[in-house]
Structure 1
């Protein structure tokens, strides 16, 4: 979090959209609400096309943001000053969390994330230099009351594709290897298909 430098850290298998959104969802749950704005880096799971004035947000990320009621603002590409506080906190977290765990052996992501959770909890509860409070206290006092309540229903990732309706009035979805019927009037036309796992 920007004001308090409260940290959440989680390991995921990849930077694909569903893994990224799973981590972001866990972060929001950890915080106990969602902020008005989320500033992301320009990874593909969040931004399709980086642009200074009109960045193109990934549709899945846009759905996630709409579900949780926040706006996505990508950091400008090649402008490290836009996220200087985050970069600085990254260095501190690297020294206090990752450096202490790097020589350990883990056998699953769950083990890694449990270790991350323990070390980040310690980090968030450590008094800051030249301050009379810790990150956790500042977060609870100043930022947590401003967070919006999380939606009751869980977010379900929707995938989008465009398929041609074949002569037998079906579209074939390769992901699940099934044919789905379409009204015969649309034979030969392109169909926008939205599906979940």
Structure 2
């Protein structure tokens, strides 16, 4: 049974450091006709459930714990029985949004998640958030970068828990080393490729 990547855009808000902004988030569903994982349960658990279309949800994988990426995670977990997975370095951010709910498992650099016979390797890519991760699916020729790398540059680092030199180092050493044809599926906005972004690294550092 063929593995596929389904894409859903959900809308809501992002709040941190006393500010709130309207945002559209990419929700990625990786699996086949019987099982799947969700990468970033953003804003609308019912919409994500509808997109799953009866498939068994094996895990809810959080690329990081900013509220716009995790706000629907507990509701989706309650509806499906799926485990919520988060890198432990993002627990402080998680608790700002869900103080009474703890993730069910931890993500670690080098960990391999397997869904429908396809491996996704966890890459710890801090900077936008301390526990930010990317998920590399070699067989699918794609990497899910959350808010670490976008079309046109790195994710924002102007707020609490973020650091610009760290995100640049993550992109340089963990992402731009992937094959140039690798499709970059981001947390917001359009997809890109590693090859399209790699030439701009020095510009971002100026």
The interval holding the TM-score normalised by the smaller chain is under 0.3
Q: Which has the higher contact order (CA 8 A, sep 6+)?
A: 1
As a proportion of its length, which structure holds more strand? 2
TM-score (norm 1): 0.28
TM-score (norm 2): 0.27
Q: Radius of gyration: which is bigger?
A: 1
